[in-house]
Amino acid sequence: MADARITLHPDFRRGVVDRRLFGSFVEHLGRAVYTGIFEPDHPAADEHGFRRDVADLTHELGVSMVRYPGGNFVSNYVWEDAVGPVAERKPFLDLAWRTVEPNLVGTDEFLQWAEREGIEPMMAVNLGTRGVAAAAALVEYCNGEAGTRWADLRIANGRTEPYGVTLWCLGNEMDGPWQIGHKDAHEYGKLAAEAGKAMKLVDPSISLVVCGSSSMQMPTFGEWERTVLSYTYDLVDHISMHAYYEEHDGDRASFLASGTAMDRFIDRVVASADAVGAERRSDKKITISFDEWNVWYLETRFPGEANLPIQRDAPRIIEDVYSALDAVVVGDLLVTLLNHADRVPVAALAQLVNVIAPIMTEPGGEAWRQPTFYPFATTARLARGTALDVRVDAPSLRTERHGEAPVVTAAATVDDDGSLGLFLTNRSDQVVEVDLAHVGATLSLTEGHQMLADHETAVHGPEHAAKVAEASWSAVDVAGALVGSADGTTTVRLAPESWTAFAGTFARA
Ligand code: AHR
């Protein structure tokens, strides 16, 4: 008798996996931009000053979309100061991260980098210190045809073709008291509605993301979503969610069950949005842009924005170093996102490089993968087509922070050609055997990869990251992992505290 049973049926489908689910985030924060994606003096810099090694790792990571320019940064950003001749741009003091921003990279440099790399940009407008006019002007600058003020400025700055940016965030975390220009839900809802209206009048083809809560722990959570959507429901396409997870006081079990917290958070935001829709008797469904998610030792390692000294020259801020345990949690969070593919079409791993990131660099030196790189890259590669509505029957464990949480989680995707991606987490400290019941279909597993959680203290640097990968990230011997296969059931063995991805085929019987 196996410890858990997972039922896969070709007709039980959750939703199409939108490629934008594998987005990431580059903010003007610490070394995300300068000495992250951009470092003109680096030996690997291209003719535009962007690091080729970082771009190559971004492709290997499978990132489809990048959110820019913030984050908290956007709430005091004057985008006009960072366009036009670089020599004429003036540095400004970014109050969000108390850092002098040199404005060497601005809208054009970022959008052209994204375009060259084939990555979809997701832009955010400043609704903290600015408002309707600056937001509409930025849409016109990016997407307008020749013959109007801001589009002509773009052309004068050397870019004739509109960029055609589709996805726009109406500010960032406006519910957070730390946000520059923080607002209450009514103030923000009204401003977002007016800014969004103007932005859509400039370009009706754009999609808008209204700010949801900065986390489920915010005191205004729920009420914030309801109020903000009451102003913007008919205008916006998505509501944002942000969530960061970390291990508190050695409570490993709760940390490993972070996916359960994310799962409940999504369900609650969906319920809040649907309640507003129901009251309005609307057939429209607001979907979720989970545009900041990751492991971040926010409470245990970060002193807080206001305690940062004023710094310049790309300071090292929130450069969390990750362990294999963190990587197992990241893999499990991806399982949760896939299982909500019907309501979460957009997501961004925050962030891409150096700042709580899967990619790290040294100025003038190497770029390397953190352990969290591997589950993300593998999921982005193997999760294709449609997410199945996977039924998991597994024992649960009691956790301090999240109550009952299943020991095993699973997500599966099937592409039109029958290729299967199967993603499994074993959150317990025991080996678990899992029956995969493939009802109405044959299943074969051909390739597997696993991340085993560690007990090591993470140490900065490429050598340490390589050692962690060598010890924790490996190809699965598929034959060895198979315990048996009979009567439409395949049984696999999962190592303790592990995240596993299998590729294979799933064809109708
Ligand atoms: O990703 C780091 C910061 O986390 C972002 O700037 C902000 O939106 C969130 O609080």
Distance of CA 90 to the CA centre of its chain: 31
- Of all protein residues, the one whose alpha carbon is nearest to atom 6 of ligand 1 is 71
Summarised one tens digit per residue, pLDDT across range 76-127 is 999 999 999 999 999 999 999 999 999 999 999 999 999 999 999 999 999 9
- Determine the 3-state secondary structure of 507 from DSSP: strand
Confidence at residue 392, expressed as pLDDT on a 0 to 100 scale: 97
Query: Separation of 459 CA from ligand 1 center, angstroms?
Result: 23
pLDDT band at 487 (very low <50, low <70, confident <90, very high): confident
pLDDT of residue 304: 85
CA of 34 to the centre of ligand 1 (A): 17
Is 172 touching ligand 1 by the criterion CB < 6 Å?
A: yes
Residue 306: predicted pLDDT? 85
23-32, 35-44, 75-84, 462-471, range with the lowest pLDDT:
462-471
Looking at ligand 1, which residue's alpha carbon is closest to its atom 9? 71
Which helix (H) or strand (E) segment holds residue 224: the answer is helix 223-232
Q: Is the CB of 27 under 6 A from ligand 1?
A: yes
Q: What is the mean predicted confidence (pLDDT) over 489-507?
A: 96
Q: What is the whole-number distance in angstroms between the Cα of residue 175 and the centre of ligand 1? A: 12
Let me know if 107 is exposed, middle or buried by CB neighbors in 10 A (0-12, 13-18, 19+): buried
Do 319 and 301 contact (CB within 8 A), yes or no? no
Phi, psi of 449, rounded to the nearest 5 degrees = -140, 140
Using a pLDDT cut of 70, give the percent of the chain over it: 100
Predicted local confidence at residue 305, as pLDDT: 85
Q: How far is the CA of 70 from the centre of ligand 1 (A)?
A: 7
Contact between 471 and 371 (Cβ < 8 Å): no
Give the residue, by CA position, lying nearest to ligand 1 atom 7.
71
Specify the ligand 1 atom closest to the Cα of 178: 10
Q: For 368-423, write each residue's pLDDT tens digit.
A: 999 999 999 999 999 999 999 999 999 999 999 999 999 999 999 999 999 999 99
Return the pLDDT at 302. 83
d(C-alpha 298, C-alpha 342), whole Å: 30
User: What's the CA-to-centroid distance between 65 and ligand 1, angstroms?
Assistant: 17
- Asked whether 291 lines ligand 1 (CB < 6 A), one says no
Residue of minimum CA distance from atom 4 in ligand 1: 71
Euclidean distance between CA atoms 506 and 388, whole angstroms: 11
Instruction: Report the atom number in ligand 1 closest to the C-alpha of 73.
Output: 6
C-beta 454 within 6 A of ligand 1: no
Atom of ligand 1 nearest to the CA of 351: 1
Question: Which 8-state DSSP code applies to residue 82?
Answer: G
Determine the pLDDT at residue 455: 86
**Residue whose CA lies nearest to ligand 1 atom number 3:** 71
Residue 59 belongs to what H/E stretch? Answer: helix 52-61
For 163-175, write each residue's pLDDT tens digit.
999 999 999 999 9
Ligand 1 pocket mutation pick from 27, 73, 290, 308 by most atoms within 8 angstroms of CB: 27
Ligand 1 centroid distance, CA of 30 (Å): 12
Residue owning the nearest CA to atom 5 of ligand 1: 71
d(CA 291, CA 266): 13
Spatial contact of 149 and 106, defined as CB atoms under 8 Å apart: no
30: Cβ below 6 Å to ligand 1? Answer: no
Decide: 128 in ligand 1 pocket, CB within 6 A.
no
Q: Is any ligand 1 atom within 6 A of the Cβ of residue 70?
A: yes
Helix (H, G, I), strand (E, B) or coil at 431: coil
In contact, 441 and 8? CB cutoff 8 Å: yes
pLDDT at 1 over 80: no
d(CA 65, CA 125): 17
Q: Catalytic amino acids?
A: 173, 292
pTM over 0.95: yes
Residue 352 is classified by DSSP as S
Cα separation of 98 and 79, whole Å?
18
Mean predicted lDDT score pLDDT of the chain: 96
